[in-house]
Amino acid sequence: MVSGGPEEVGGKGMGYKEEVEEQPDLLQEVKPEFAEATAPNGGVPEVRPGVPEVRLTWRRWVIVFVFSSYSFCNAFQWIQYGSINSIFTKFYALTPLAIDWLSMCYMIVYIPLLFPVAWLLDKKGLRLIALAGSALNCLGAWVKTGSMKPHLFPVTVLGQIICSLAQVFILGMPSRIASVWFGAREVSSACSIAVFGNQLGIAVGFLLPPVLVPNSEDKEKLAHHIGIMFFMTAGVATALFLLVIFGLNTGCFYALSTMLNRMVVINYPGEEQNAGRIGLTIVVAGMVGALITGLWLDRTKTYKQTTLLVYIMSFVGMVIYTFTLNLGYLWVVFVTAGVLGFFMTGYLPLGFELAAELTYPESEGTSSGLLNVSAQIFGIIFTISQGQIIDHFGTEAGNIFLCVFLFIGTIITGFIKPDLRRQRANLDNEQTRLQGNKSQIMNYGVCALTPSFPTPAQ
């Protein structure tokens, strides 16, 4: 809640006597309070020395939970086709690449729309962006419920494109929500929690579709099960939209997620459900990694060192995954995929936060948006390239292709200068506030100690 001006005593203005009596309280240690963002359009309220401030409130956790929920739903819709690629290929009588495009359309749509949406975020604030993202997510889910016939593939493409429009509004929000609603000591953790919802959606997208849509030669049966999945998604999206109304390492990850079903089925025929569980393992491990890295950043502020270490471990994890995928032991694939997911998905909040530090005082939405553009571009390139390499040379060659680019990314990360501008600005603001409060204390002390002598009569 926003604090008001100085309170009145007994309905009357405070006199000099009351001020003198309260002087000892002013000499106590001054503890700075962090502001809650309730300014118009999601702006951050101005902090001035000696003026009552806006305080953090529990409502910030509701905000990040609501955002994470519909980010979850949007991410689920991104991967729900790729996680059962072989089944949709059979149902729509298309090539695997055609189904892969349902995933890649998310990446394609994001690129040209980043800057218009970033401009809207800066000019109109979080409320409009959140409503637009949730509404488009809901609309796209309902459009896809009309595509439950083998000849209606264009309808499912339309629904997926609408969902990809929603993604443009959603992906740029985690850093902005963290900076607007949370204190300086919580921004990295809040950003990690916001990203957590998106990754949880991908995890469930790997787990549920193989269970809801079992492999069958009967297309009528497939249509029935696909309809169940689409209507469940539409119902969740609608509920989240109503709730909102009322209240690049990453490029490799995209390619790996899109191609996971094909890679596992090639090496382990008939294991579609285990392919989904392996995807679940990757993302659940990544969610743990994302939370741990966010908490670690808030505690240590070692942005460059942590980012470089996680990038190195992502590369090592990818190498291990590459050369253990074809050993014939599924449990080994689960373990190596979990290690890979822990570091590769855990890198996401690190990238957002490091970019926000390096580009301050530019908008967090712009910096995270540019990172996502890079991820979409490389995601498209890596998905197409890896798919072709897998088709012609096998899964090991396709994964080595990703290892090469992860190694290049690791080298480039090592040359980044750790110029933490946002941290310096937060430190300067806190020091300024403390100095202002100390100055106010000294002024009160002078007033209390200086006697007031009557003016002699002439």
pLDDT tens per residue across span 141-178: 888 888 888 888 899 999 999 999 998 888 878 878 88
pLDDT tens per residue across span 198-235: 888 888 888 888 888 877 777 788 888 888 888 888 77
Ordered by start, the domain boundaries in the chain are 59-420
Q: Is the pLDDT of residue 75 over 80?
A: yes
Region 23-44: mean pLDDT is: 40
Identify each DSSP E strand in 354-406 by its residue range: none
Q: What's the pLDDT score for residue 332?
A: 84
**pLDDT band of 42, cuts 50, 70, 90:** very low
Q: What's the pLDDT score for residue 25?
A: 39
Q: Is the pLDDT of residue 96 over 50?
A: yes
Query: Could you tell me the fold of the domain covering 59-420?
Result: Growth Hormone; Chain: A; (1.20.1250)
Alpha helices in 301-329 (DSSP H): 303-324
**Least confident among 103-107, 151-155, 295-299:** 295-299
Bridge partners of residue 2, in order along the sequence: 54
Q: What's the pLDDT score for residue 162?
A: 92
Q: What's the pLDDT score for residue 57?
A: 67
pLDDT tens per residue across span 61-74: 877 877 888 788 88
Region 6-30: mean pLDDT is: 38
**Least confident among 55-69, 238-252, 380-394, 405-419:** 238-252
Question: pLDDT: is 329 or 54 the higher one?
Answer: 329
Region 5-15: mean pLDDT is: 39
pLDDT tens per residue across span 426-453: 777 767 766 666 656 555 555 555 555 4
Per the prediction, the chain carries an average pLDDT of 74
Question: pLDDT: is 430 or 324 the higher one?
Answer: 324
Q: What's the pLDDT score for residue 442?
A: 57
Q: Is the pLDDT of residue 60 over 80?
A: no
Region 177-196: mean pLDDT is: 79
pLDDT tens per residue across span 339-366: 888 888 777 777 777 777 776 766 666 6
Q: What's the pLDDT score for residue 240?
A: 66
Region 57-62: mean pLDDT is: 73
Identify the three-state secondary structure at position 217.
Answer: coil
Q: Is the pLDDT of residue 337 over 80?
A: yes
Residues ≥6 apart with Cβ < 8 Å to 387: 96, 97, 100, 259, 262, 398
Q: Is the pLDDT of residue 5 over 50?
A: no
Region 35-43: mean pLDDT is: 43
Region 302-320: mean pLDDT is: 85
Percent of the chain with pLDDT over 70: 72
Structure tokens at 176: 């902005």
Percent of the chain with pLDDT over 90: 3
Q: Is the pLDDT of residue 244 over 70?
A: no
Q: Rounded to whole angstroms, how far apart are CA atoms 219 and 190?
A: 45
Identify the three-state secondary structure at position 12.
Answer: strand
> What global pTM score does this model have?
0.61
Secondary structure, 3-state, 328-350: CCHHHHHHHHHHHHHHHHHHHHH
Identity at 374, one-letter amino acid code: S
Q: Is the pLDDT of residue 133 over 80?
A: yes
Q: What's the pLDDT score for residue 3?
A: 40
Residue closest to 56 by CA, chosen among 40, 38, 74, 71:
38
Q: What is the DSSP letter of 454?
A: P
- Cβ 66 vs Cβ 243: under 8 Å: yes
**Least confident among 16-30, 33-47, 374-388, 438-452:** 16-30
Q: Rounded to whole angstroms, how far apart are CA atoms 138 and 130?
A: 12
